[in-house]
Amino acid sequence: MKAVTWHGRRDVRVEDVPDPTIQEPTDAIVRITSSGLCGSDLHLYETLGPFMGKGDVLGHEPLGIVEEVGSATGDLKVGDRVVMPFQICCGSCWMCDRGLYTQCETTQVRDQGSGAALFGFSKLYGEVPGAQAEFLRVPQAQFMPIKVPEGPVDERFLFLSDVLPTAWQSVVYADVPEGGTLLVLGLGPIGEMATRIALHQGIRVISVDRAPERLARAKARGAEVIDLDAVDDVGEEVRSLTQGRGADSVIDAVGMEAHGSPVAEIGQRVFNALPKRLSAAIMDKVGLDRMSAIYTAIDAVRRGGTVSLIGVYGGETDPMPMMTMFDKQLQFRMGQANVKRWVDDIMPLLVDDADPLGTEQFATHQVPLSEAPEAYENFQKKLDGTVKVVFKP
Ligand SMILES: NC(=O)c1ccc[n+]([C@@H]2O[C@H](COP(=O)([O-])OP(=O)(O)OC[C@H]3O[C@@H](n4cnc5c(N)ncnc54)[C@H](O)[C@@H]3O)[C@@H](O)[C@H]2O)c1
Ligand SMILES: [Zn+2]
Ligand SMILES: [Zn+2]
């Protein structure tokens, strides 16, 4: 089959790889009809290279049709239309029982000290072949697939794999008080969807980015927007819009590919030039994150406010401004999204014919797998108006 594979920094290819097969009674094989490209894939494309292997199949936002089932996959049937969460989880362990699916104790990648295994996401998360491919082996298929109705186009349900529950969790974790203001940093797919969800819930939202088309999309949905490049200091700007206090809650939907810290970018380039074994060790011990968004979040949140961190940061000893965090009495919530925890909350909005979150028009580009190299580049560099890419294998 054809699949998008990783070969090095900014080097993804479309190659023929062996078709996946059933390996465990709980496996299923799904024929992929739509597969998203995520900001998290950009970390693999740019920053997390040391943890990737040449030929690893990328992608973790799959929707498709069940092609084959193992002998212990419950009521899953060949022909079912299904979406899979980006994390692999069993649904019946201690963590899954508590809705903490990204911590699943059956699939935790213990030798790396990581949580649940993820599709298409490096050795840190189990090196499970990903979903930007014609077929996907789905482990834990007695629990994983989310069945969705026939009828609407794939895009109505595709974002249940990642964007919707991630954005939803970020808004829940932001815990915006009644009448409060939410600041959303980053208007990639995650920040934009968080903006849409919060607006739909009647929350005042201020969103920040510097890509003009991303700012325009959020503004069109009713957010106030701040252009990163048009202000000297985001924190000051936010305080001027919130009676001098700052936002009640802030979502950091940027993560480690933040722009705005050139010193770190130079460090990044040096780091990328190191031998692979050395750079993996450094990444793990020292952390080499571009922290500008999280610093902005800590500055722009009001005293006693909440920061909801949904952007992904790697490395273990990030230089956090602990004194300010403590002095401001902040609350932080973070982590990968527990996809299945939120599906029942979101589904009513998706089966509503009015499509209140605008899922059907959310993707800006639908492309065949063969165009993956250009799609990755355009998404990373924000060229050609690229906000959300959906591959159509
Ligand atoms: N926690 C989870 O479960 C989960 C799931 C999916 C994605 N993510 C993470 O969410 C983040 C966003 O993903 P995405 O798909 O929206 O990607 P994206 O890369 O398209 O979005 C990031 C956006 O942030 C903007 N940005 C960069 N620096 C900024 C700054 N200093 N201030 C404000 N905006 C800035 C960029 O212009 C871009 O529009 C990534 O880190 C991704 O890994 C987390
Ligand atoms: Zn993702
Ligand atoms: Zn589990």
Which residue puts its alpha carbon closest to atom 40 of ligand 1?
311
CATH 3.40.50.720 domain locations along the chain: 164-334
Starting from the CA of residue 106, give the closest ligand.
Answer: 3
Ligand 1 pocket test, candidate residues 257, 268, 299, most atoms within 8 A of CB = 257
**14 bridge partner residues:** 4
Query: Does the beta carbon of 185 sit less than 6 angstroms from any atom of ligand 1?
Result: yes
CATH no. of 164-334: 3.40.50.720
pLDDT computed for residue 255 by the predictor:
84
Query: Does the beta carbon of 190 sit less than 6 angstroms from any atom of ligand 1?
Result: yes
Which residue puts its alpha carbon closest to atom 2 of ligand 1?
336
Query: Does the beta carbon of 38 sit less than 6 angstroms from any atom of ligand 1?
Result: yes
CB 223 within 8 A of CB 193: no
232: CA distance to ligand 2 center in Å? 31
One digit per residue, pLDDT tens: the chain, 393 residues? 999 999 999 999 999 999 999 999 999 999 999 999 999 999 899 888 888 999 999 999 999 999 999 999 999 999 999 999 999 999 999 999 999 999 999 999 999 889 999 999 989 899 999 999 999 999 999 999 999 999 999 999 999 999 999 999 999 999 999 999 999 999 999 999 999 999 999 999 999 999 999 999 999 999 999 999 999 999 999 999 999 999 999 999 998 777 655 445 555 655 566 666 666 655 554 444 467 888 899 999 999 999 999 988 765 545 677 777 777 888 889 889 999 999 999 999 999 999 999 999 999 999 999 999 999 999 999 999 999 999 999
* CATH class of the region 2-162+338-391: alpha beta
Strands 11-16 and 2-8, how do they pair?
A: antiparallel
pLDDT computed for residue 274 by the predictor:
63
pLDDT computed for residue 257 by the predictor:
72
Predicted TM-score (pTM) of the model is 0.93
Starting from the CA of residue 194, give the closest ligand.
Answer: 1
Which residue puts its alpha carbon closest to atom 30 of ligand 1?
293
**333 bridge partner residues:** 308
Which residue puts its alpha carbon closest to atom 27 of ligand 1?
258
Q: What torsion do the CA atoms of 274, 277, 282, 283 make, to the nearest 10 degrees?
A: 100
Which residue puts its alpha carbon closest to atom 38 of ligand 1?
188
pLDDT computed for residue 330 by the predictor:
84
pLDDT computed for residue 285 by the predictor:
46
Tell me the Ramachandran region of residue 191: left when phi exceeds 0, alpha when psi lies from -120 to 50, beta otherwise: alpha
Query: Does the beta carbon of 293 sit less than 6 angstroms from any atom of ligand 1?
Result: yes
Which residue puts its alpha carbon closest to atom 25 of ligand 1?
186
Which residue puts its alpha carbon closest to atom 11 of ligand 1?
311
Nearest atom in ligand 1 to the alpha carbon of residue 313 is 41
pLDDT computed for residue 304 by the predictor:
95
CB 86 within 8 A of CB 136: no
pLDDT computed for residue 329 by the predictor:
83
Query: Does the beta carbon of 290 sit less than 6 angstroms from any atom of ligand 1?
Result: no
**30 bridge partner residues:** 66, 136
First to last CA, the chain: 10
CATH 3.90.180.10 domain locations along the chain: 2-162+338-391
Which are the contacts of 167, defined by CB distance < 8 A and separation ≥ 6? 190, 191, 193, 194, 196, 197, 253, 310
Nearest atom in ligand 1 to the alpha carbon of residue 185 is 33
